Amino acid sequence: MCPTAATVIIQVQTEIRPARITHRRALLRLLRTAERAHRHLDWQSAEGWLQQYRCHVAFADSIPIGMLSIPEEPTSTAWLRLAAVRDSERDTPTMTRLWTTARTGLQQQGVRLAAALTDNVWPENLLPLWGFVQCGHVVVLRREPTAPPPITETATQIRAATRTDVQAILWVDQAAFEPL
């Protein structure tokens, strides 16, 4: 008995490759439009991460369908910076293949710990499948734009930061969180 056209499933070949500069536009579009997307809560923009650091991409017929960026850091910890999967894709198989590829590269570079700082449910459901466990909780608050409160005389001065302030800023940032 021959299957009908409605029962034939054609498996599209998915290939995992490092992102190239020519993929940047498509990856930014994927991050901007995908319902399942993650951008690390960070000072760096998504475009900045794509310009400077490694990103693995899942391609189907030469079209990016998923992406994952966990660049190596100067320490033995790497952070999940960017992730997205096209809305029409099943996220778990695509993203798990991307994670497996990224994890192998990180292990070869001596990275011992991978971490993620998420702000939505999608990665929080996916990460435990990869062995991630929740070790903290960050509360994010938003203030509606209104007129700033009046400034009164205080001993505190507010000014624009300069390059000479970077070390002090880093110290405050590191002091605010326990090391992983």
Tens of pLDDT, residues 53-109: 889 999 998 889 999 999 877 778 899 999 999 998 888 999 999 999 999 989 988
Helix (H) or strand (E) holding 116, with range, is none
Tens digit of each residue's pLDDT (9 = 90 or more) over 140-150: 777 888 887 77
DSSP strands (E only) in the chain: 14-18, 36-39, 56-60, 63-69, 77-79, 82-85, 113-115
Question: Which pLDDT belongs to residue 4?
Answer: 47
pLDDT tens readout for residues 163-178: 999 999 888 988 887 7
With 90 as the cut, is the pLDDT of residue 137 above it?
no
Residue with tokens 């990224």: 102
The Cα–Cα gap between 95 and 58 comes to 8
- pLDDT tens string 14-53: 899 999 989 999 999 999 999 999 998 777 888 888 888 8
Gap between the Cα atoms of 72 and 78, Å rounded: 5
